[in-house]
């Protein structure tokens, strides 16, 4: 917790924050093994093609599902889930209002709103389905006390490919994800034997794993059962070994920009592990200067680490057939790649390029692997600790949660992409930014 957040959560702090209408950064409820995913029942409404399969999924996830709202003020819900997939005219958008308006104030702290729609290209009314975005994003901005809202577009035939996404969204794993639009396509889903260890028997490569977000990704993927190959530059060797030991994985010291890096990475994965299931391109650097003051060295270094080397590694992995069936490639973009940022023409170019990589590669490998990216907002790491205090505090406040996210929040979203049952989640870029105002 930063100092403002600590203050705002004391008795006096709550009073001052409430009176002055200041940002109110409530502690977020995060996933902890063994504790229930939500703090209250799920109210499930709507009448499209998804309501029955979703009820089955929620029950299998151990959630308490209710179909009818009690009298106003009597219940406190952990989540409100509405199947809007059958809304086929603009007039029927009123069903959203009728479901949510009476119950929205009964959503508990860190509660969840999930709207399910039909991917607009496949819908009876493209207009009505597209309209769901504005509704969901606004609900996300109105919710308080750590609650989140998302829209999931489900293509026809993808009804059985939803479970990993619903389990992610309806739990503390998505604590810092809000206002997002996720698309799920039909896919043959690999159901894990144990939902607590979905990556058991799988091998994951995480670049930039010595610290920060990369170390958290290694921890979460290992928690989910994967053997994690932790990669970082030789200069970070001690930190890297410490992370690899902690997660029961292995360390691979190399610079991803080296000419022989793609060959060495693929050789390592194939010789030691017979291939790889999950590749997370997390290594990234910033070399900030406004364009007029930027030297070619800063430009080149950022492009090499954040984008060019990743393309080369992907090419080598695919050429050597080292990515196993139902494989996963995950990129780490940034809200700067969506919104642009002063002093970051180089960085934002590469982070938008990561989104381009998702678009092109996801189409190329569809059916045998998925390619997605997270776009983090303000995450509390060494990278952001170096930002001047005033800008840092603004970064923390300019989002619906009024706080920065933690590395684990990014890692949990990556673990959802990496999940063997997430085969229908392909070509998505999901922001982990607390619904930041930047690029919204």
Residues facing 150 on adjacent strands? 114, 180
Please tell me whether residue 288 binds ligand NAD under the rule CB under 6 A. Answer: no
Please tell me whether residue 172 binds ligand NAD under the rule CB under 6 A. Answer: no
Please tell me whether residue 378 binds ligand NAD under the rule CB under 6 A. Answer: yes
153 is a catalytic site residue: no
CB 130 within 8 A of CB 194: no
R_g of the chain computed on alpha carbons: 21
* Secondary structure of residue 438 in the 3-state scheme: coil
Out of 46, 111, 284, 327, which residue is the one contacting ligand NAD (CB under 6 A)? 284
Per the structure block, which two tokens stand in for 215?
């170390």
Out of 26, 183, 211, 431, which residue is the one contacting ligand NAD (CB under 6 A)? 211
Out of 381, 422, 435, 436, which residue is the one contacting ligand NAD (CB under 6 A)? 381
Residues of this chain, 27-86, that bind ligand NAD according to CB under 6 A: none
For strand 276-281 and strand 323-332, is the pairing parallel, antiparallel, or unpaired?
parallel
Per the structure block, which two tokens stand in for 3?
């100092």
Out of 232, 277, 409, 412, which residue is the one contacting ligand NAD (CB under 6 A)? 232
x/- binding map, residues 253-282, to ligand NAD, per CB under 6 A?
A: --xxx------------------------x
User: Among 64, 25, 26, which Cα is nearest to 43's?
Assistant: 64
Residues facing 329 on adjacent strands? 279, 371
DSSP state of 153: E
Residues binding ligand NAD: number (CB under 6 A)? 27
Report the residue closest to ligand NAD, judged by CB: 284
Nearer to ligand NAD, 44 or 283 (CB): 283
Out of 334, 346, 403, 422, which residue is the one contacting ligand NAD (CB under 6 A)? 334
Out of 207, 341, 372, 400, which residue is the one contacting ligand NAD (CB under 6 A)? 207
User: Among 141, 133, 134, which Cα is nearest to 104's?
Assistant: 141
The sheet that has 323-332: what strands, in order across it?
250-253, 227-232, 203-207, 276-281, 323-332, 369-376, 429-432
Strands (E), 208-354: 227-232, 250-253, 276-281, 323-332
By CB under 6 A, name the binding residues for ligand NAD: 207-208, 210-214, 232-233, 236, 255-257, 282-285, 305, 332, 334, 376, 378-379, 381-384
Active site residues: 347
């Amino acid at each position: 917790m930063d100092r403002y957040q600590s203050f705002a959560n004391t008795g006096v702090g709550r009073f001052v924050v409430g009176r002055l209408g200041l940002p109110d950064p409530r502690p977020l409820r995060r996933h902890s093994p063994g504790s229930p995913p939500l703090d209250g029942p799920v109210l499930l409404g709507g009448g499209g093609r998804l309501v029955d399969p979703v009820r089955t999924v929620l029950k299998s996830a151990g959630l308490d599902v209710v179909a009818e709202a009690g009298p106003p003020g009597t219940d406190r819900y952990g989540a409100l889930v509405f199947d809007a997939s059958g809304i086929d005219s603009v007039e029927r958008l009123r069903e959203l209002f009728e479901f949510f308006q009476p119950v929205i104030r009964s959503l508990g702290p860190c509660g969840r709103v999930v709207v399910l729609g039909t991917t607009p290209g496949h819908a009876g009314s493209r207009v009505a389905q597209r309209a769901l975005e504005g509704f969901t994003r606004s609900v996300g901005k109105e919710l308080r006390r750590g609650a989140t809202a998302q829209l999931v577009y489900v293509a026809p035939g993808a009804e059985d490919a939803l479970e990993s996404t619903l389990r992610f969204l309806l739990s503390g794993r998505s604590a810092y994800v809000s206002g997002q639009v996720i698309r799920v396509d039909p896919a043959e889903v690999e159901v894990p034997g144990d939902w607590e260890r979905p990556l058991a028997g799988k091998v994951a490569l995480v670049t930039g794993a010595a610290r920060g977000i990369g170390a958290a990704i290694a921890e979460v993927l290992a928690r989910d059962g994967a053997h994690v190959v932790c990669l970082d530059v030789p200069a970070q060797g001690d930190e890297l070994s410490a992370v690899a030991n902690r997660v029961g994985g292995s360390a691979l010291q190399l610079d991803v920009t080296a000419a022989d890096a793609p060959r060495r990475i693929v050789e390592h994965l194939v010789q030691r592990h017979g291939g790889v299931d999950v590749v997370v391109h997390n290594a990234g650097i910033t070399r900030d200067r406004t364009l007029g003051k930027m030297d070619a060295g800063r430009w080149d270094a950022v492009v090499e680490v954040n984008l060019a080397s990743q393309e080369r590694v992907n090419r080598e992995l695919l050429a050597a057939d080292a990515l196993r069936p139902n494989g996963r490639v995950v990129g780490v973009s940034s809200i700067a790649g969506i919104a642009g940022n002063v002093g970051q023409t180089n960085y934002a170019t590469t982070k938008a390029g990561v989104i381009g990589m998702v678009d092109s590669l996801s189409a190329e490998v569809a059916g045998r692997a998925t390619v997605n990216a997270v776009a983090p907002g303000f995450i509390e790491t060494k990278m952001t600790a170096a930002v001047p205090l005033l800008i840092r505090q603004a970064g923390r406040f300019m989002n619906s949660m009024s706080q920065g996210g933690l590395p684990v929040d990014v890692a949990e979203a990556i673990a959802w992409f990496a999940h063997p049952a997430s085969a229908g989640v392909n070509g998505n870029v999901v922001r982990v930014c607390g619904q930041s105002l930047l690029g919204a």
